[in-house]
A and B are shown apart, each in its own frame.
Chain A
Amino acid sequence: MTLEVIEPGLLTLVQAAPYRGARHLGMPLAGAADPLAMALANWLTGNAAEATALETAYAPVVLKAHSDIAVGIYGAAIEVEINIAAFSAAQTHFLRRGDIVRIPPPVGGCRTYIAVQGGISPHGVLKATSTYTPARLGGYDGTIVPKGAVLETSAQQLAEQRSLPAGYQLCYGRDFRLRIAPAPESAWLDMDGLLDEDRVIGRRADRIGLELEGTPLKLLHNEHIDSGAVFPGTIQFPPSGIPFLLGPDAQTTGGYPRIAHVIRADRHLIGQLRPGARVRFQRVEPAEAQRLYRSKIALIRQLQPDFRLD
């Protein structure tokens, strides 16, 4: 069964589970920028949470089914168009051979996932599935999926019809609240400066990281830092005074002060931030952050038992 990419949009990537446990070798996490949205898209087709799917960002994407196929399209998009008719995104779509699916540009959020029953098979010689473009690793020859790409799937028979229960429906807007916990150099910053105003995502925004524009912040204290580990969710403080939030493709080590860290329950939201989105940071204690993480995992695992957040 195959799906053809008629219009690839700006940044469509094959993504699946991240590359866990290799940061000491310089390997970034990669994988879905919003693993929650991908897990729900996969659920709609009966797939495991981290089955290989397409991640799209910003622009409209158009696909054509070359066989009867069940797809789940979820994330920033609220509706999808199949042969011009609009359908809610929160349900399984059964495409017939020749059907055209259009995912409109997102009103809120940034990324939508296209899951295909059985998962998308890796393309090319690479065994890895998640795309990390700087190393041309994984996915579709390690690059952005091009116009005309034909994606193979391994589904045998059509999935059952599913609709996401009310408690599991995402609704991403343009205003985000990200909860943060302390990082090693948090004490160097007057944290009120970060917490008191909305930050706006700047034009420098990709899977590696996002600029948090607003009033430049000042450090109360500064000294040389030896390069050490950074992670998706680390908020760095470069000399410009404009904080930089690291995303899933972020490098593994860095030498800028680490002023805060987005909590694990909220890190998947980084994948839904795009230029112009507003972010309000809210500080929580580490124990509370752990509780929030555990309750989010427990909720999603009622639907997707193998769901993970990193």
Chain B
Amino acid sequence: MSGPEKFIGEDILVARCTDSKLLTAKAEYFRQSGLWEEVVQGIADLTVKYDPLNMSDAEAEAQFHHAWDVPTFVGAPSGEVMVLEASFGEQDAPDRDVVADRIGVNADGLAAWIAQRGYRISMMGFQPGFAYLEDNEPDQVPTLARLDTPRQRVAAGSIGFLGGRACIYALDGPGGWPIIGRVHEPLFRRDHAEPFLLKPGQMLRFLPT
């Protein structure tokens, strides 16, 4: 593996990698070094920002290469599978019928179907605490399209579903993913010492309530 391939501005480096689990492990390694101001995992890249007061561009690139080339163990990220209680009732799942139909279950069976699936957080972004999920076996699941017209308001905690990929909205706001349920626990806790419930790499399951 090589990298970084690209510069952004004078204080940002980017390297591509299509293995999401490896990216999560690399990102954690970069973060622990304390050298970087930001370490952000994308869908297929890793971006770091540094302070040119601390490192020249040549030093930053050398440090990046060094960290990137270290063999990285990809274990079960963050160990345990987090179980998120969620409602899949009609009120919290405006697109339940469409999604159930595409999956091939009836509307009431969708919750039980979801409960059998395992997910991994591949990336966070868009809003504080917003999580992009990847099904552990994405190829088994039919793909859905985003809504033609995004909703003006999606409730915080709503579970968006595109098939092998899903998401959880952290805040009330606009959104274009079909919604199949809603997580009870807040993902962004503004009055909490640890405001973020989730982090990249976390394994998840949903428990219908």
Contacts and interface: CB of A to CB of B under 8 A. Distances in A.
Nearest to A226: B43
A310 B31 CA distance: 18
A290 B129 contact: no
A126 B191 contact: yes
A296 B18 CA distance: 38
B71 to A, nearest CB: 22
Contacts of A286: 7, 9-10, 57
Interface stretch (A25-33, A68-76, A103-111): A25-33
A167 interface: no
Interface stretch (B34-42, B89-97, B145-153): B34-42
Given A229-B40, A287-B57, A135 B127 contact: yes
A289 B171 contact: no
Interface in B92-136: 123-130, 132
Which 9 pairs show the lowest CB-CB distances between chains A and B? A228-B42, A253-B125, A261-B9, A289-B10, A229-B47, A226-B43, A229-B40, A286-B10, A290-B52
Contacts of B27: 24
Q: Name which of A227, A251, A287 has the most chain B CB atoms within 10 A of its CB.
A: A227
Given A134-B127, A264-B52, A293-B52, A24 B38 contact: yes
A94 B198 CA distance: 47
Chain A: number of interface residues, binned into ranges: 35 or more
A136 B128 CA distance: 11
Interface of A: 20-28, 125-128, 132, 134-137, 142, 180-184, 226-229, 231, 233-234, 251-253, 258, 261-264, 286-287, 289-290, 293-294, 297, 310
Contacts of B42: 226-229, 253
Nearest to B60: A290
B47 A228 contact: yes
Given A227-B43, A297-B53, A26 B9 contact: no
